[in-house]
Structure 1
């Protein structure tokens, strides 16, 4: 079957042997890295690649192995195939995961659904049985020698990665619902924002667009990634609501100034 993958820069159609296989993939990447990653996967029956400029045939195995080596600069990339295999076989996997801020790793039992790339890091998303909810784990923080692919099989999920991540910036999807975030910015920043927004919005979400400001509403989950993005343009962009986000952004900026001093 053919399945579409869309990113900011490329529309890719990949031929898979079955509909179950493409569910393992969720990409937010450019064309070159997208092609290189898919070509590096040997256990998925990828049959052809179609970019806007034509069709690219799959490379011989010797060349594919060379492509795989290029991914080793990304921590955790060596585990991509491991989790793709568990997704394909619908195998429950057990592993230890250690957050950067914690000294002690935590063991999880996961029904893996999706492998996702974000900002040069790779993540696996699935149902954590011992947390009874969908969780996201950075592959670079999974202890490789702790991975155990069990004989326990799970029923493939109808998990929709697009829907799951659609209301959040980045990979931090919390249990809280999305809310309306209203931001105001200078007219110049507004022109940049309209041409390449960090989060999608509709025409009816534009609340002001004149010579004094550009103001819009974004319906999204508030997370740290949003705060970091807003801080990048704090001299040209401000939060109108919700007040809690405005408070968190101001606190982040205060701490940044204090650290620099």
Structure 2
């Protein structure tokens, strides 16, 4: 086995005196073998994936390990382009708060966030108990509970101006917030405890149906009916109706039509009419 390449050794082992084994090359050592191509490829893939954690200070030691691995790989083989790529936006505002928020959550620390929504001219301070940073479409949101009224909501990191510890108010857990179940019926991040769950049915045309079937809009999605004549498919899913849901439906353009519930049909019709009106305006060329 050691003579073969099954273990990656290809050791130059020879027999002498009909009963002893030794390396034909006395300087040979299995501890000084170069990496096999398979070892290199697997390690390079792992490094590419581990680099995604570089934004967190909690993984500083891991970043050092990754740096050393990259150096080793560069020496062992010529540089190559990554073969696995993750969607990232390094220019996204608010990423600097990821590390402090992670530490505040880990240490169960009440915090005060200076927060400025897009429609507010000045930031406002919110004192909250932080629970979970969540990423959606390459943007980060902090799920937290406001200390004044115990209301659960999320804050976008790109609208945070400052985050500081608040040691005057003791940290409290939210026993009703369980991430493993809270996000099961939501597309995106917009949801409150009182947001109702509804059954949505929508029709996708021949062009869009295969994409939606292979990449479901939600884990609850199912096929209700296939139209053999025009190739359209009737889908159903159980979700909360929020901004992200409507944005996703609108992204399919004329390829998708919501048929129920009536409130969703009414909302999407209003949004489409307003969009069409912008192009029908006489001010447009």
TM-score greater than 0.5 by the shorter chain: yes
Q: How many residues align?
A: 212
> Is residue 203 of structure 2 the alignment partner of residue 188 of structure 1?
no
Describe the SS at the equivalent of 2:253.
coil
Of the candidates 182, 191, 197, which is equivalent to residue 173 of structure 1? 191
Match of 1:208 among 211, 222, 225: 225
Contact 2:116 2:123 survives alignment (8 Å): yes
Identify the residue that residue 38 of structure 1 maps to in structure 2. Answer: 53
Tell me how far apart the structure 2 counterparts of residues 37 and 225 of structure 1 sit (CA, whole Å).
Answer: 25
Residue 150 of structure 1 pairs with residue 150 of structure 2: no
Q: Deviations over 1:40-99 (max 9, x none)?
A: 322358769xxxxxxxx5446xx9xxxxxx975111001111101100110000122111
Highest RCO, 1 vs 2 (Cα 8 Å, sep ≥ 6): 1
The whole-number CA distance in structure 2 between the counterparts of 1:257 and 1:32 is 47
Deviations 1:89-127 (A, max 9, x none): 100001221111222433211111111111221111111
What residue in structure 1 maps to residue 30 of structure 2? Answer: none
1:39·1:59 contact (CA, 8 Å) conserved in 2?
A: no
Query: CA 1:85–1:180 in structure 2 vs 1: closer, same or farther (change >3 Å)?
Result: same
Tell me the SS of whatever aligns to 2:218. coil
1:1-261 aligned at under 5 Å gives the runs 35-44=50-59, 58-59=66-67, 72-144=90-162, 147-151=163-167, 152-157=169-174, 159-174=177-192, 175-201=194-220, 205-211=222-228, 212=230, 213-261=232-280
**2:139 & 2:204 partners in 1: Cα distance?**
30
Which ranges in structure 2 are unaligned for 5 or more consecutive residues?
Answer: 1-45, 72-87, 281-285
Q: Say if 1:111 and 1:126, in contact at 8 Å, map to a contact too.
A: yes
Residues 59 and 111 of structure 1: CA distance in aligned 2, closer, same or farther (over 3 Å): farther
Q: How many angstroms does 1:135 deviate by? A: 0.9
Query: Does the C-alpha gap of structure 1 residues 33 and 77 become closer, same or farther in structure 2, counting only changes over 3 Å?
Result: farther
User: Residue 247 and residue 172 in structure 1: after superposition, are their counterparts in 2 closer, same or farther (change >3 A)?
Assistant: same
Gaps of 5+ in 1: 1-30, 49-56, 64-69
Return closer, same or farther for 1:156/1:130 CA change in 2, 3 Å cut-off. Answer: closer
With over 3 angstroms needed to count, the CA separation of the structure-2 counterparts of 1:230 and 1:101, relative to structure 1, is same
Answer whether contact 2:89 2:138 (CA < 8 A) is retained: no
With the length of structure 2 as denominator, give the TM-score of the two structures.
Answer: 0.66
